[in-house]
Structure 1
Amino acid sequence: MKYPAVLSFADILPALDAFDTIIDARSESEYALDRIPGAINAPVLDDAQRIRVGTLYKQTGPFEAKRVGAPLVAANIARHIETLWADKPREWKPLVYCWRGGNRSGSMAHILAKIGWPVVQLDGGYKAYRAHVAGSLENPPELDFRVVCGTTGSGKSRLLETLDGIGAQVLDLEKLAAHRGSVLGHLPNEPQPTQKWFESQIWDLLRRFDPARPVFVESESKKVGNLRVPEAVMARMRASPCIALSLSRENRVRLLMEDYEHFCADPSALNGQLDHLVQLHGRDTITAWQEMANSGAMPELVDQLLVQHYDPAYLRSIDRNFVQYPKAQLLELGDISKGDFEAAARKLHAA
């Protein structure tokens, strides 16, 4: 094969995991929005340079833009070779892409090929990859989803984490979304990813799952925080067999106190989130809950939130949205220790 080889994403996909390095040659802000999972960012033009060259292109024309951009491109590629790839052997096989598979990735691929590396350039660039992801999520693979259901605080996320730890196949949408899926679910100091990066991570997991083995997933709503679960994936989940996780209310309060420790330490943050529930529960109830938070009565507040907010909402939605829930497999947890979750996970994994 002659290098650089320019291949479509359909041709690349079967061997995607065989590349030693996937190089995203776009700017840092483009990379932050979305990328091929596992790719590293090695900009041919950084954000400021890209704006400068793009402005010249529009205002003066392509020749002046390329005259100014060429030394910037050359310097950036040289720096990447010296700092990132100087120790790579002759057999090192990288995949390079940019926005449309044009000048930026082409420049980098040409130089890497001239050095002697068997470099592949993605024809159509990120846009071709993104089109494939969007199409794949509209028709996801036929997988044996097992939906872990249970009221808030019953330990669904901990069970999925434990299942993952013992080698089960797990699609943890809340982990991918950096959100616990409720009005109080945002994680401190961890912003949610972009919608496109959320979808890329889902696509990457789905393509790796063995269809002959079950995939455990939580009974999510259509949105996890500000992110939307792909509609076809949600439809598959909602039609799948269910597992009803059961835990006493006392233990659910204990578990939530552990998982939401950041709110216990900062009642003002909790009270800000509680304001979003005024329309559902009225100002008087929310004010009373906020006073409980300020006075340190957190266990009592969590208990009231379960009884008055979370549990009624769960009971209203679960039968309607997950059609196999009425015949769900019951899984009872006696406590919230690590051992309890390991025993429950192994029971499911062995079934």
Structure 2
Amino acid sequence: MSAPRSNTTDFRRLFLEGIPMMDVRAPIEFNKGAFPNSINAPIMNDIERAKVGTCYKQKGHEEAVKLGHQLVRGKVREERTQGWIDFATNNPEGYLYCFRGGERSHLAQAWLKEAGIEYPLVTGGYKAMRTWLIEYLEESIAACHFVILGGKTGTGKTRLLHKFPEHIDLEGIANHRGSSFGRRVGGQPSQIDFENNLAIQFLRFREQGLNSFLLEDESKLIGRCSLPQTLKDKMEQAPILLLEEDLETRVQITFEEYIDQNLKDNIALHGEELGFETFAQDLIASLGRISKRLGGLRHQELLDIMERALSDQRERGDSSLHREWIRILLNDYYDPMYEYQLGNKQGRIVARGNQHELAEQFAASGALTKLTVL
């Protein structure tokens, strides 16, 4: 019989290898921030945790512990312990953790041991792992070099980004395309989860010996996810590859991503009828979010075209009219904004061209790494 595994402080290995972890914190804590290789198997639910917290404030630690045992006993305890047993059985290489690696972790360990399972915990718990990731993220930002992929809306920057092996897809990690119309099915991660996942992305790439990366030009906010200020500052000093495509190409790319793909994603999640309705309402809401900047008349003009396009699409399966409002929005709204911003970046542009030209020049030649030292 093999000896029980020890508790761990090897956070690098946990994240690098994606080792499964069981988070015994309450759901409200887990939802604020966790790790991509963890599942929530709480020792207390949110209501129980709130009651114990109130008791702790009013009567102290000892009474709070007593209340916790009263709330989680009998069948409730059996069911939760069984969930831990199932996880431990299915993930014999995994670990459990709570907030600081304290009472909740040790109690879960004790109940598992009573069931005949010795299962290790993460020393320091969530707080220690989160601190390690934030420190690693800041260290990586300081140590790594970046090239920025810029270009007007609809040029297909994300498509080109993925042709470079040494890229970090910030929009992918944020699950958002970055514009007012950028919401994706599934919603965005919490800010903490965004930062954790970004740090882990750096960890895995740097372990391969990479320290130069292509990033897409982004605002401080990608949807509701905020870039670390140190990363944003460094991006604003980095050399730029400028992706250029003609208007009709950009209309087509925008149509494929924001109409075709978004509709497919919504139907896959919600089914045909609700999926289309969700897709349609999201489009209308996205246009509404920029109504003040468009002005009342222009917003109404685009809304009329959009609603006709949605009607044609729903009733006849003809989505071609969407290209009309996309073309107007790109030409009259997004392009002037980007051209103004580009005026402040001219000295940083080191190459420009279309998808094929930039990919051919930089994606496989190793030239990207050389740009980072400019």
Q: Which residue of structure 2 aligns with residue 349 of structure 1? A: 364
TM-score of the two chains, using structure 1 as the length reference:
0.81
Whether 1:127 aligns to 2:127 is yes
> AA paired with 2:355?
L
1:347 offset after TM fit, Å? 5.3
Q: How does 1:88-237 map to 2 (within 5 A)?
A: 92-111=92-111, 115=116, 117=118, 119-123=120-124, 125-141=125-141, 142-163=143-164, 168-187=165-184, 189-210=185-206, 211-212=209-210, 214-237=212-235
Q: What is the aligned length?
A: 329
Q: CA 1:285–1:129 in structure 2 vs 1: closer, same or farther (change >3 Å)? A: same
Instruction: Return 5+ residue gaps in structure 2 as ranges.
Output: 265-275, 310-320, 367-374
1:255 offset after TM fit, Å? 1.0
Question: What is the CA deviation profile of residues 227-272 of structure 1, one whole-angstrom value per residue up to 9, with x for unaligned ones?
Answer: 2111111222222232222222111101111111148965554333
1:194 offset after TM fit, Å? 1.1
1:43 offset after TM fit, Å? 1.4
Q: Which residue of structure 1 aligns with residue 371 of structure 2? A: none
Task: Measure the CA separation in 1 of the matches of 2:90 and 2:307.
Answer: 57
> AA paired with 1:151?
K
Task: Measure the CA separation in 1 of the matches of 2:69 and 2:27.
Answer: 19
1:108 offset after TM fit, Å? 2.2
Check conservation: 1:154, 1:245, Cα contact below 8 A: yes
Secondary structure at the counterpart of residue 230 of structure 2: helix
Q: How does 1:1-351 map to 2 (within 5 A)?
A: 11-16=9-14, 17=16, 20-70=19-69, 72=72, 75=78, 78-86=81-89, 92-111=92-111, 115=116, 117=118, 119-123=120-124, 125-141=125-141, 142-163=143-164, 168-187=165-184, 189-210=185-206, 211-212=209-210, 214-261=212-259, 262=262, 268-296=281-309, 297-320=321-344, 324-325=348-349, 327=350, 329-333=351-355, 344=359, 348-351=363-366
1:111 offset after TM fit, Å? 5.0
Check conservation: 1:144, 1:215, Cα contact below 8 A: yes
Check conservation: 1:289, 1:301, Cα contact below 8 A: yes
1:223 offset after TM fit, Å? 0.8
1:195 offset after TM fit, Å? 1.0
1:68 offset after TM fit, Å? 3.8
Check conservation: 1:185, 1:225, Cα contact below 8 A: yes
Task: Measure the CA separation in 1 of the matches of 2:127 and 2:188.
Answer: 23
Task: Measure the CA separation in 1 of the matches of 2:21 and 2:240.
Answer: 38
Task: Measure the CA separation in 2 of the matches of 1:186 and 1:255.
Answer: 16
> AA paired with 1:145?
F
> AA paired with 1:176?
I
Check conservation: 1:149, 1:156, Cα contact below 8 A: yes
Check conservation: 1:5, 1:121, Cα contact below 8 A: no
Secondary structure at the counterpart of residue 260 of structure 1: helix
Q: CA 1:147–1:291 in structure 2 vs 1: closer, same or farther (change >3 Å)? A: same
Task: Measure the CA separation in 1 of the matches of 2:100 and 2:336.
Answer: 49
Q: Which residue of structure 2 aligns with residue 337 of structure 1? A: none
Q: CA 1:236–1:112 in structure 2 vs 1: closer, same or farther (change >3 Å)? A: farther
Q: CA 1:345–1:49 in structure 2 vs 1: closer, same or farther (change >3 Å)? A: farther
> AA paired with 2:171?
E
State the identity as a percent: 26
Please tell me the root mean square deviation across aligned C-alpha atoms, in Å. Answer: 3.1
1:220 offset after TM fit, Å? 0.7
Secondary structure at the counterpart of residue 190 of structure 1: coil
1:161 offset after TM fit, Å? 3.6
Secondary structure at the counterpart of residue 148 of structure 1: strand
Check conservation: 1:148, 1:156, Cα contact below 8 A: yes
Secondary structure at the counterpart of residue 122 of structure 2: strand
1:180 offset after TM fit, Å? 0.9
Question: What is the CA deviation profile of residues 3-38 of structure 1, one whole-angstrom value per residue up to 9, with x for unaligned ones?
Answer: 78566xxx4234324584322111122112211331
Q: CA 1:110–1:94 in structure 2 vs 1: closer, same or farther (change >3 Å)? A: farther
> AA paired with 1:209?
F
Secondary structure at the counterpart of residue 215 of structure 1: strand
Q: Which residue of structure 1 aligns with residue 370 of structure 2? A: none
> AA paired with 1:97?
Y
> AA paired with 1:98?
C
Question: What is the CA deviation profile of residues 188-240 of structure 1, one whole-angstrom value per residue up to 9, with x for unaligned ones?
Answer: x4222111111111111112223545322101111111221111112222222
Q: Which residue of structure 1 aligns with residue 369 of structure 2? A: none
